[in-house]
Structure 1
Amino acid sequence: MVVDIAALRDFILVVDAGSLTRAAALAGVSQPAMSQRIAQLEAQVGHRLLERGPRGVEATAAGLELYRGAQQVVRQVDRLAESLGSGIRDIRGAVSVGLPSTVAPSLVPALVPLVAARHPGIRLELFESMSGYVEELLGRGRLDLAVLFRPDATDRPGEVALYEEELFLVTGTEVDPATEPASAAELVDRPLVAPGERSNLRHLVERFFTTAGVRPRVVADVESLAAMVRIAQTGAASAVLPRSVATAFTGPDLTLRPLRPAVRRTVAVCTAAEFYEPRVAVLAVRDAVVDAVHHLADRSAWPGIAPVRR
């Protein structure tokens, strides 16, 4: 069986877009032309790859298997083309990096100029979202790198631990001026706002309370960190956040109370090692991420983080 690389790219685009029409627009072709390309690919592989419905298209079981393999093949072809087209001293190519919303505001302003200075031929593609979605995209091979939360500072295959940070109960000072550590039992009736279930932050909040045998009183799922801080500033509800996020916004004063027992998390930069060997450009950006974190910490420009030293 011979499958054209362009056909695999089209198929990946359709699955990601969830719509033949949207995928056609992104590819700059007509919808009938895109449909014909997918039909030809299905004929080549001998399986139906997409199920069409009122909400768009989804991959079948065979389609999902091809999608995963196609990710690896296309990335490998891109890596080979990049290697043939540039030398080690002239690293080029696009590198997609996924960043959780609690990390991006502090890291991106330092990372972009650092990569530009070291490797002008690299084009960064930065994606910010809640941590669960970022991890999902890395797991599907749609990102080259992702900054993710891990249970400890142990380096795993394809990962480099960056820093550790503590989480705090954040509340408007006028409502709660206390600064001593707060237990789950003490906070059982406290209204909280937290990200949705895809977020590592939400998982940590839930575990903090359930470990103590109680349930948190989450009054709203809020996917915006800025909105969470604003709500805390009004005193309408508290939030659990790292120090860097809680201190990044102007407005009414906030009180930061440590949690008892303390809640900490480790942050690592990860590659999609299970899909393909990272390209030279990807490794260069990974090194820049590590260096940017250490530079910020050394200048006390990222409050609340403790870098993992090598």
Structure 2
Amino acid sequence: MREAGVVDIAHLRDFIAVVDAGSLSRAAGGLHVSQPALSQRMAQLETQLGVQLLVRGPRGVLPTPAGTTLYRDAQQLVRQFDRLSRDVAEGGNRLRGPVAVGLPTTVAAPLAPALFSWTKARHPGIHLQLFESMSGYIHELLLAGRLDLAAVFREDDAPRAAEVPLYSEELYLVGQPDPRPDSAEEVPLPWLRAVPLVTPGARSNLRTLVDRAFAAHGLVPTIVADVESLGTMIRIAARGEACTILPLSVVREHGNPHELGVRRIVGPVLRRHVAIRTATEVYEPREAVAAVRDGIVEVTRRLAGEGRWPGIS
């Protein structure tokens, strides 16, 4: 591979648009240029870098492995360039600009409103972009360079690059299994082997944790449906047709824990750890991102200390 030439930021924008659209014609329409002109720009970009970036076929275009790498890094580069341009144009020392934060649904419910209020009061020049979804999709957005920060789930609290520990929490059985356990407050994990469960799909950290906990006892959980919606899981559990496994904090947001049949899982206790992760491991994020990261830690501690985020430590 020959030495790469200087790449125009405009060509990177065009490349991102093509990958997002999956089609040269659709991307050309969105960019308001002709398809031949856009195709020529992509060919120039491949020539400059000395690698093939796109595979063209009858159903559109897909990135090659090199193209996927460029797409991920170009997302961050273009966003940083845009922020730099705005900061220079606006001047001043106040922190400003967009900060994209990804929060799994179980984290977003208690944290997002308080984080919005904190940011508005402390750094009104920062424009929060909050993305709420299941943990697997949030992780994909982070890897693709679409987020500056993301809350990630871990099975242990070992220190990791680019991460700041946030909190840990236990998981609970939600629903009324039949037959019901003898204890009104606790249920042993092995007892759940025949209980029908609804959980997120295989990409979810919660599903991985549940599968591994059962496997450690030589068991396989009875998963009757993959449900990628927190509210739907709780509604199914409330109907009594299946149970689910969730942290206590989000259950309280959706109803009375006693009526929902919330029980602490023991033997072993299911615990997961949450950290806030930045998009890069190799350098400290820009000041606005670091400020929001510190704000997330501060808000979480305050909510826990005031008893407004039950079940976390």
The question of a shared fold, defined as TM-score above 0.5 by the shorter chain, is answered with: yes
Mapped to 1, the partners of 2:291 and 2:144 lie a distance apart of 22
Q: 2:135 aligns with which of 131, 134, 137?
A: 131
- Pairwise mapping of residues 91-102 of structure 1 onto structure 2 (< 5 A)? 91-102=95-106
Look up the equivalent residue of 2:117 and give its one-letter code: P
Q: 1:106 aligns with which of 110, 117, 131?
A: 110
Mapped to 2, the partners of 1:29 and 1:298 lie a distance apart of 55
Matched, 1:253 2:247: no
Instruction: Label 1:266 to 1:253 Cα distance change in 2 as closer, same or farther (>3 A).
Output: same
- Pairwise mapping of residues 1-310 of structure 1 onto structure 2 (< 5 A)? 1-24=5-28, 27=31, 33-78=37-82, 80-81=84-85, 84-85=88-89, 89-172=93-176, 176=180, 178-250=183-255, 253-259=259-265, 260-274=267-281, 277-306=284-313
Superposed displacement of residue 55, structure 1: 4.6
Secondary structure of 1:187's partner? helix
- Which piece of structure 1 moves more, 218-227 or 11-20? 11-20
Are the equivalent residues in 2 in contact too, given 1:97–1:127 (CA < 8 A)? yes
Deviation per CA, 1:101-158: give whole Å up to 9, x if none.
1111111111111111111111111111221221222123221000111233344221
The number of aligned residues is 306
Look up the equivalent residue of 1:59 and give its one-letter code: P
Instruction: Label 1:268 to 1:205 Cα distance change in 2 as closer, same or farther (>3 A).
Output: same
Secondary structure of 2:220's partner? coil
In the alignment, structure 1 segments of 5+ residues that lack a partner are none
Instruction: Label 1:51 to 1:121 Cα distance change in 2 as closer, same or farther (>3 A).
Output: same
Superposed displacement of residue 74, structure 1: 3.1
- Which piece of structure 1 moves more, 275-284 or 4-13? 275-284
Instruction: Label 1:50 to 1:66 Cα distance change in 2 as closer, same or farther (>3 A).
Output: same
CA-based RMSD = 2.6
Deviation per CA, 1:184-226: give whole Å up to 9, x if none.
3311111000000111111111112111101100000000110
Mapped to 2, the partners of 1:172 and 1:29 lie a distance apart of 59
Mapped to 2, the partners of 1:179 and 1:22 lie a distance apart of 58
Instruction: Label 1:247 to 1:31 Cα distance change in 2 as closer, same or farther (>3 A).
Output: farther
- Which piece of structure 1 moves more, 106-115 or 126-135? 126-135
- Which piece of structure 1 moves more, 224-233 or 142-151? 142-151
In the alignment, structure 2 segments of 5+ residues that lack a partner are none
Question: Taking structure 1 as the reference length, what is the TM-score of the superposition?
Answer: 0.88
Question: Taking structure 2 as the reference length, what is the TM-score of the superposition?
Answer: 0.87
- Which piece of structure 1 moves more, 284-293 or 227-236? 284-293
Superposed displacement of residue 86, structure 1: 6.1
